[in-house]
Amino acid sequence: MAKGNGTKLIAQNKKAYHDYFIEEVYQAGISLVGTEVKSLRAGKCSLKESYIRIENGEAFIYNMHISPYEQGNIFNKDPLRTRRLLLHKNQIRKLAMEVQAAGYTIVPLKVYFDRSLVKVDIGLAKGKKLYDKRETIAKNDMRRQAEKDFKIRNLTL
């Protein structure tokens, strides 16, 4: 656990930052069963290929893989089942409007424990074009090179 703030990162969706411009980030709770929480405590979660949809005034996360708990036997659920996200009504309404009107997408960014609760950071995202991705890669390479040069320069002093 991280000292001070009581959060422990379980899974992160790095590909989301590569494929999308993240406009806004929301924190949502997630509706889980007991064996899923135990599996998350062991760090067995994947956000690859997962996405979020809003249906009938509720937000759901699809294709989030939580591995079955080893000692869970009959209580284990389907690893890829659809799970409900816990958000305020006005947040859901705002997200639904943005998705319909402006062509945004809602993607999960990371899953973590906030004290004893499982939370999901979801982002309101706009898709990147190929040239945007190349530009981001070039910026990151330049930043890394500058940090490397700075480190070498400070070591020689």
Tell me the whole-structure pTM to 2 decimals.
0.74
Q: Give dist(CA 122, CA 115) in Å, integer.
A: 19
Give the chain's mean pLDDT: 83
Q: Which helix (H) or strand (E) holds 39?
A: helix 34-41
Domain borders along the chain are 7-128
For residue 12, give both structure tokens: 């992160």
- The H or E element spanning position 74 is none
Written as tens digits, the pLDDT of the chain (157 aa) is: 555 577 888 888 888 888 888 888 999 999 887 788 888 888 888 888 888 999 898 999 998 888 887 776 766 777 778 889 999 999 999 888 888 888 788 899 989 988 888 899 998 888 877 777 788 888 888 888 888 888 777 776 6
pLDDT tens digits, residue range 101-135? 887 888 999 899 888 888 999 988 888 777 777 88
Q: In whole angstroms, how large is the CA radius of gyration of the chain?
A: 19
> Domain 7-128 belongs to what architecture?
Beta Barrel (2.40)
